[in-house]
Amino acid sequence: MSFLSHKSTARSEMEKEIRRLSAALESLKKDAAKESEHRFDSLRHKLESLFEDAHLDERGARVAETTREASEAARECVRSHPMTSVVVAAGAFALIGFLLTRR
């Protein structure tokens, strides 16, 4: 009987060890899922940031293009009407000078 008793004890110890390993694996699985979720969130935030930066670059390029077009239009206007441009510039300087000396 002691052999059978020893065998059932060994079996119950093995079952306990299997349950402990199963619990440890379940815990490990949960920890891995949490870590994966954390990394996924981090990558998602980085991707959103890059996406926003790309849109800012696109907007900046549009603003730069519009500024270049306005600058070219102003140059063309000054070239086609030089005297008017000189009078407008003199008027602007006179207005600035008047406002500065008024204080």
Domain count within the chain: 1
Domain of 65? 2-101
Q: What separation in angstroms does the CA of 70 have from each of 15, 24, 56, 61, 67?
A: 82, 69, 21, 14, 5
Query: Model confidence over 44-102: pLDDT tens digits?
Result: 888 888 777 777 777 778 888 899 999 999 888 888 988 888 888 899 989 998 888 88
φ, ψ at 81 (rounded to 5°): -135, 70
Query: Model confidence over 4-49: pLDDT tens digits?
Result: 566 678 888 888 888 898 888 888 888 888 888 888 888 888 888 8
Instruction: Determine if the pTM surpasses 0.75.
Output: no
